[in-house]
Structure 1
Amino acid sequence: MRLRTAAQNLSGSLEAEASGGSGHDDGTGRFGHHALLDSTNEARRAARTVRRTWTGLLSESGAPPVGAAPAPNVRHGSSPGETRWIPVLAGPPSEPLSSPRTGQNGRVLSGERTDLGDYLRRQRAAMCPPVAPGDPRVRRRRVPGLRRQELSEVAGISVEYYTRLEQGRAVRPSREVLQALARAFGLSGAERDHLFRLGGESPPQIESPDTVIRPGLLRVLHALDGTMPVTVHDGRLTLLAGNAAASELLAPLTGGTGRYARNIAYQAFTAPGLADLLGEEGAELFTRVAAAELRTALSRYPEDTHLRGLLAELGAVSGRFRDLWERCEVGAWRSAVKRIRHPRRGWLHFDIEMLHDAERDHWVMLYTPRDGA
């Protein structure tokens, strides 16, 4: 009843406003200047009246305002049958407005991926336009770098999709798209890895270890010659370099010949002087570690022909390797204490530490003497 009365009051108010302030025709079919002002004021008063009356209707009926959704759990008032509407935000109530939604792996699921878009824009701005020197089009560019259309053509993706990436509206760029963008921008390994992480993907692994040691690392290796033995091997377990102290200490392992002679796993199962160098217990542990490390290397480079050939060769020449390979052990030893027979000083204990150059997949092995030698 109150709702009907309020509606009648609303209608009466509007009629009173219209009849009390209407303009008059000046004989030309147009309203005069004062009549136009009066009409404008009447419209404003009518709008205020509508808002006030509509608010009253909401408070009496319990209906929700425009844009509000009914609460999932409707609350009831003090009197039976009375329903109260509660405006709520779309989405889970526990989800904060300032936090983007993420998946189980931390991937951003909402459109708030500003970091990726900013990174793409900055890389695009740093690129040189693909035009000849002196071309007048260079002078007409209002922003530095490539246009989106130009960049998308270099990367081989649509300009619409690239625009969505920059604007944060593309939620899940594929690894192929990220790799194409990395090539188009000419990113370094570290920059490419950063791009993949911004895109919610793990960085790609290198296809094969680098065969060249960084010059700075070589200088460090030789500078430590009078302090400790140091070796460098790659992710295939191939020995790349060693200082003079390492060559003297590990001479029984490095006397072999053939394609795999410099591979640590091959040395572990074929070197005749292994037991004299490490002792029986040390030799058994070394072969076990070598087999496990070889399995790890193959999991990292499953299509590597060198490693596949090494696996076949060891399986053919070593029964000990075949037994250990059947155990399917996978290892990653990074720190150890070894007892090694020095050719001039006898048995010595060394703290072994391994440092990894991930960009080239090189491993630096430091032999720190424990005996003060």
Structure 2
Amino acid sequence: MDETLGTALRRWRDRLSPIDVGRTSRPGRRAVGLRREELAELAGLSVDYVVRLEQGRATSPSAQVVASLARALQLEPVERDYAYRLAGLLPPQEGTISTHVPAGVQRMLARLGEFPVGVFSADWTLLSWTPAWAVLLGDPSARTHVERNLVRAVFAAGPSGLAAWPVLQEGDTLKPTLVADLRTALVDYPRDRGLIDLVAELRSTSAEFARLWDEGAVGLHVSARKTIVHPQVGEVTCDCDVLTVPGCDIRLVVYTAAAGSVDAEKLEFLRVTNGVSPGGSSPPGAGLFSTP
């Protein structure tokens, strides 16, 4: 019997431990690996769609859906490419930006659930995030792929941003650093149509971006102090660090606060309540490591 995308998804789902995605494997759990409901949450898809994929009734998933499933299932690059082929799609080509997050990085992030962490691709598109990120900055799951691009959000003419509420930063080093990152990415990924279009769009819509680009802006990521004006706990001041992973071109953005500080107490309160205020509800996606 020939393998299909559905049979491969079931096999990959069965082999993945709930602990690897930050879930508790309770005694008496009968499901081997991940449940369909858990995979759907992790991939940002409906349970019905995952069922139809596994049963072969959904036969034309988009490249974005396959990429989300590959991240959620922590596939190795060769397995990810195999999934694309089973879906009738071409795997990502050389010279284009990868959205692959190595399984080891995902396992590490699953154990860092207490920290707000966002995972970004080389063009600064948000790929996935921890529950603490969602409660500190607002849940990004309702945003489109285009809206999850940090550079586009930073240089937008009107109100925008990846955060649902104001984030204030000391100094003005972010913009030239982001422009420098895109310039480097364009050298590394000269055939990435999305990146080429992003640069062209920003040069035509943002005079500031165009000026920095034409000036050859350079910058290095350093630890920054940011203040999040949170609607529930007020101002939360954190250190924001950008970490890179050798061997893959992704960036981890991590927010932390000094132990014992008022800001750390606010972060802990948001984490344990999942951002739930008395009589309120938690943000969508809270309680899981999301891969939209």
TM-score with structure 1 length normalisation? 0.39
Higher RCO (CA-CA < 8 Å; seq separation 6+): 2
TM-score of the pair, normalised by structure 2: 0.48
